Amino acid sequence: MFAAGKTVSAVCHAPGALHHVRAKDGSPLVKGKKVTGFTNTEEEAAQLTTIVPFLVQDMLVANGGTYSKAADWQPHVVTDGKLITGQNPASSQPAARAVLAKLQAQLQAQLQPH
Distance CA 39, CA 21 (A): 20
- Write out the catalytic residue numbers: 12-13, 43
List Cα–Cα distances, 113 to 86, 104, 107, in angstroms: 34, 16, 12
| Closest C-alpha among 101, 83, 94, 104 to residue 10 | 83
